[in-house]
Structure formats: structure tokens, C-alpha cells
A and B are shown apart, each in its own frame.
Chain A
């Protein structure tokens, strides 16, 4: 079974550039989450969607960050313009909301380095 697929796995770019991270959730899952992991703050939720609709974006750090989910099988997290402090590992997770307390399943992350 295919898990959550994230691309790219690694991204190195210069500050000021636009960065787009991509996520394909597990087929049939209807909730999608974006997390960021840093040494200082650990794993923190940025935004999550239910049935393609953004539910809570209070974790999005600034207006430079935006996320979309145009359909049930694809989501993007965009940073424009990027800054060195955005360097982190970004994880996408998905979950099915039926059948009781189903856990969130994570992708392997995108390691982002902004120079």
C-alpha cells in the first residue's frame, strides 16, 4: 500500500525564491495535515484540511506561507519569498475520519534548506 508521498525529499534554494512542497495523501483519506519540525520548536502543526477545506491555519507562521488542496489527492505548501529561518523538515500527514480514532499517517518529509 502506498503511504503518504511527499516531494521533493530535499530542497536547497536561495533566500527570496519561491518554494513549493507537494503531498499526495493515502487514497481514501479525507484529512490532510502539514507539520514543520525544527530543533527549537519540535514538530508543530501548520495547517490542516478536512475534505479539501482548510479547517485550522493558525499554525501558519506568516503570510509568506500558503497551502492549498485542490482535490482529494494533492496538496501544496508554498513559501514566497523564502527566508533562511524557514529551513526545517516539513511533513505531510493524512487520516481517514471514519471508523473511530484512526491515527494520522506521515510521509517521509521534505528537508528544506534556505541559503
Chain B
């Protein structure tokens, strides 16, 4: 049973527009959430994170929103750029990022120019 779900396998967006990637989780014990970006033939690269005590975290073009009551988080990329085209993984853990990360299966984002 998947504890972290990314229900959209793919997303296509035009350059300059907003990309919204979604993630749902089932385990209410999760208290730390991360987004990773992955290019082909490379390892996942950390993008942004959020603790369960917050509902928003922003870093440049990237913002993560957390809705604990809905067990839902989203990653917003504004404006989207062609270089953002990659697979995005949502991950969650109990007790900070030092323990096991549970990953979603990823969403492939394609940004066209």
C-alpha cells in the first residue's frame, strides 16, 4: 500500500506558466516532506522541503504548500523554464530527513518553449 502517492504520472506546461505538482500521503505520522528533481541517468537532487509545523515554504521560483488536514502537498514552480523538465519526486519521513524517506513514484514535468 503506497503511503505517498503522486497520482499524475506526467504534466505538460508552457514556458513562463505555473507548474503545479501534487502529492498525497496516508500516514499521519509523517512530519517532514521533501521534493526531489531527477534528470535521466542522474540521481535525485534535493529541491525544497517543509516541516509539518509549517504550511508554506518558498525558495526562489519554488514553493511548497502543505495541507495537513487533507494530507496533501503541492509544489509550485513559477515561472516554469525548459530546464525544469525532469521527474519530480515527493518524499516523506517520520522524524526528519535522517530517517527513511518514503517516495512517491514521481511526476514527469515537460516544459515547452
Contact = CB atoms under 8 A, between A and B. Distances in A.
A43 B103 contact: yes
A101 B49 contact: yes
B89 A43 contact: yes
A104 B105 contact: no
A42 B101 contact: no
B41 A42 contact: no
Interface of B: 32, 34, 36, 41-46, 49, 51, 89, 96-106
Contacts, number: 52
B103 A102 contact: no
A108 B27 CA distance: 29
Contacts of A33: 100-101
B43 A91 contact: yes
A44 B103 contact: yes
A35 B97 CA distance: 14
Contacts of B106: 42
Contact of B100 (A45, A101, A105, A106): A45
A31 B98 contact: yes
B100 to A, nearest CB: 5
Contact of B103 (A42, A50, A101, A109): A42
Given A33-B101, A50-B98, A106-B45, 17 more contacts: A33-B100, A42-B103, A45-B101, A45-B102, A56-B99, A95-B98, A97-B98, A101-B32, A101-B96, A102-B97, A103-B46, A103-B49, A106-B44, A107-B43, A108-B41, A108-B43, A109-B43
A31 B95 CA distance: 14
